[in-house]
Structure 1
Amino acid sequence: MKHRPSKDEQAYWLILSQDKLVQLSGQSCLIEQKWSELHFLSAYADDVIKVGEYRQQNCYVIDLGQEVPDRDNIELINLRAALMSEARDAFNILARAWQVALFLRTHRFCGQCGSRMEAVHWELAMHCHRCQHRCYPRISPCIIVAVRKGEQILLAQGAHHKEGMYSTLAGFVESGESLEQAVHREIMEEVGIKVKNLRYFSSQPWPFPHSLMMGYMAEWDSGEIQVDGREILAADWFDFDKLPLTPPPFSIAGQLIQATTNRVPQ
């Protein structure tokens, strides 16, 4: 997947430094320039990784590791802020670039024998030539579900949410478990209720750090809310016209909430 760019190649460039994205002052994180114009990146010509296309042009990621470019017109912004500020169609390419870079950072050495690994040129993988162990990017399946009860929606405040933020319930799928089983288990563990009429909604890659969110809509069946007090600090039924602070619409949580509150009553 590595690509040594020609000096006249016009493309979109994503530059990572530490755990942030590099942004040239007044510009997008997706830097649209020729390679020859990015003089401060010349030392990284052999480390350019193609991560896809954006607006019909190639998009590449360059990971500077812990180095911070010594330039006056550079800002470092975190991924959540970038996702909030960039155009909506940039979400997938930003998510993929971040996850690819994280995979390469965390698989420099073989987890089986400890030898240094090398990138495979024809696919996104790292290979150990000593023991022949090969690694691919990790994807962690998660479920996320909006639960409706009449003209109310169940929203919860998680231990890691910013103050005042309420969202839909979510959790990782466990080994040997179907997506639907994960939905029922997570809801019961976190808020102590049962649901019915489970319906698939959509999915979204979620780069925090490498999840694939699979969204569902459900209806309350039985039980009273009892939060676990660990992952979930508070939860309640909210009227559609009296929602608390909720996730932004670029997130699948925001989309689930919007779809539930806009749905015609049955």
Structure 2
Amino acid sequence: MTAEGPKNAVILAAGVGSRLRPLTDLRPKPLVEVNGTPILHNALGALEAVGVEEVTLVVGYRKDAIQYACGRRFNTVAIKYVESLTYDHTGSAYSLWLARDSLLSGDSYLLEGDVFFEVDVLRQLIMTKASDIAAVAPFTEMMEGSAVELSDDELISAFHMKQTSASLAGGPRLFKTLNVLRFAALTLRNTIVPALNEIIGSGATRAYTEELLAFLIERRGLQLAAARCDGLKWCEIDTRADLQIAETIFATRPRLPPRPRSDSGGEA
């Protein structure tokens, strides 16, 4: 691992965001604002701050709104678009498969388009001495969704889907995945993309990225290190309640400066 992070990133931003309606009736979830800053703009700004030069956005629902809001460049970051025509009945692994050409371009960050986070989350990925890394934080009673167990050497040893506060009683210590990851080019080329081809080729188009990673850890020997983000600010935004929590967490965060709009209007 080098001291620098990847120059490329993929952000999955194709979903409908039905649990955030009516906020997502006219705009996609990645453009929902937290204290005035769209979730997607926050992610792009953080990626720019750690040296990312090119981002591939997988878009679907209300794709034109995302292309208008982000354009072909976001400040110094070049943006490419990949369109999912079946976003309403496919999972995140399918969106990732659509971006496989970008995944083959070198070391890369992988983000879900509904996570609002501070830039130190990415810096934690850079500082963690491993090739393939996932940002995690302790799973608390306020959380739900996918969770992981960690081994003694801080590798992810198992995934658990659809966890709730009840999962904390009497079981192993769990950590929440932030859906912010970093992968080495070798892993993407030899492990991630071939597995995506296999899964999507088998017809499992509704699979989620977490299911892909669980399969690779359990069956293919993927060593995915955990970057502990205890104490850092982040929030996965699926519901109106999540949005309220995010606005509280980031209440004192300075707003980003306005971005020049002279190069808007990206194309899928």
TM-score scaled by length of structure 2: 0.23
Q: Over alpha carbons, which structure has the higher Rg?
A: 1
Bigger relative CO (Cα 8 Å, ≥ 6 apart): 2
